[in-house]
Structure 1
């Protein structure tokens, strides 16, 4: 297997934001790993950290009374024994729900404090969650520990405008499209300010991640993180291709693939 530690063409690990400072690709535990059915819970994240993961991916919503919770869906119904939209429920109501019938929905502040040695990739699911998240990062002096993203380009831009360069963000959907077009040598305008492109390997029939896309990103100082990769052959192929990070639900699988490529343990 090819050793992917500091391969030629990857942006310098010392350049840019501390979140990105690594000589090996980043291995992300997507929602803490979903195979157990306990996604986005303290238990899932603790298991990921116990396996050696130092980059965790999560999502944030706010309750009706402003509590910032780590949760993917807009409603409790799919993963918990509760029901209803989080935005319409109080924190007291949400806190009674149990993910997989076992684990409580966590406040993101509690997760941030519980795992001081890890970094967080945060998908801001609603506009109402953005300011509470930024206020939390300010209180906890946690700017170096997070990357913030959203499918909504305007939300990503607002995050950068409010927080300034201390906040690392990924490209929104429009920015990813612009980068794909630039990889075809088409003169699309790329939004300024992001530090990485976090993308699926494919979107429908369109292949997003290939050598041209990675080269276009690296030429502009952007890292490429790919989600959500649960097949070992695809993970290995992406490392060989030169991506800078992979998100997975299958934690042991990705750990083993990274180890085989000389990229484990993480730094």
Structure 2
């Protein structure tokens, strides 16, 4: 075991099939690495980016999905095709037949189903970017029995919960904007009021988080520092993991890992892979 690896405490967490660091094995209690849109912005959300990330050792891919005009679920971040592709207009107005001829960084776009079936052991952190993406997402996850390989998230808690209700089996999830904001503010608010203990604050956090397994948050949001030792302690006491996005500098990754975060989302796949190797947490498949 490396010297750095001793800095990462082995914590007990509720076992979640999607989160391999909650399972007995080499990654138990270790931090997770998530390749943000495949970890290669120039070809983001394309099979080229995903293949490269998997070959580097990533077992988690963070992706965005939207529905084409024909209902096909497409891996894509923005509402409009420009400026990242060689086409223009809202993606929702194009059929998959048309979108299959569109390129991003010289690479073709990807259907969610093709990514879902490309590797049987790679997990997908799926951001539902719009309401129209919910039903095709649910249908594909149910059809392929991929419930233990996906985490569903969205800026909209209502959208995320709708997907969870429609799925035939439970899947992992992280909170949207409202749920995350309540979770971040729960501890400080309790402290100011002076009416609840640290344990009660954690229980409040768990109730606010509701049916989620982790919080995926930026380190800072405007003037507010989100990820602090106190925030991490409250989340961990409530049985919630904390994944931080989008972290691209090695020293900041190390600082966050030293604080005890459970996962890091990054555009810099090689950098994150190298840092996690220092913590005996690589590869992750």
TM-score when normalising by structure 2: 0.87
> Conserved in 2, the CA contact under 8 Å of 1:5 and 1:263?
no
Mapping of residues 210-249 of structure 1, within 5 Å: 210-249=228-267
Structure 1: distance between partners of 2:7 and 2:133: 36
Q: Does 1:54 align with 2:59?
A: yes
Structure 1 residues 11 and 159, CA, compared in 2 at 3 Å: closer, same or farther?
farther
Structure 2: distance between partners of 1:167 and 1:232: 31
> Conserved in 1, the CA contact under 8 Å of 2:218 and 2:244?
yes
Q: Does 1:171 align with 2:170?
A: no
Q: 2:225 aligns with which of 185, 207, 210?
A: 207
Q: Unaligned stretches of 5+ in structure 1?
A: none
Deviation at 1:220, TM superposition (A): 1.3
Structure 2: distance between partners of 1:183 and 1:256: 34
Q: 2:277 aligns with which of 236, 254, 259?
A: 259
Q: How many residue pairs were aligned?
A: 262
Structure 1: distance between partners of 2:245 and 2:48: 22
Deviation at 1:216, TM superposition (A): 1.3
User: Larger radius of gyration, structure 1 or 2?
Assistant: 2
Deviation at 1:46, TM superposition (A): 0.4
Structure 2: distance between partners of 1:247 and 1:48: 12
Deviation digits for residues 95-137 of structure 1 (CA, Å, limit 9, x no counterpart): 111011x211110100111122200000000001011101100
Q: After the TM superposition, list the runs of 4 or more consecutive aligned residues in structure 1 that deviate by more than 4 angstroms.
A: none
Q: Unaligned stretches of 5+ in structure 2?
A: 22-27, 191-200
Comparing both structures, which one devotes a greater share of its residues to helix?
2
State the SS of the aligned residue for 1:3.
Answer: helix
Structure 1 residues 117 and 215, CA, compared in 2 at 3 Å: closer, same or farther?
same
State the SS of the aligned residue for 1:239.
Answer: helix
Deviation at 1:215, TM superposition (A): 1.1
Deviation digits for residues 150-179 of structure 1 (CA, Å, limit 9, x no counterpart): 011111221222237621110111111111
State the SS of the aligned residue for 2:18.
Answer: helix
> Conserved in 2, the CA contact under 8 Å of 1:2 and 1:240?
no
Over the aligned positions, Cα root-mean-square deviation in angstroms equals 1.7
TM-score when normalising by structure 1: 0.93
> Conserved in 2, the CA contact under 8 Å of 1:28 and 1:57?
yes
Structure 2: distance between partners of 1:230 and 1:75: 26
Deviation digits for residues 64-90 of structure 1 (CA, Å, limit 9, x no counterpart): 110100001111112110111011111
Q: Does 1:120 align with 2:131?
A: no
> Could you say which residue in structure 2 is the equivalent of 1:2?
4
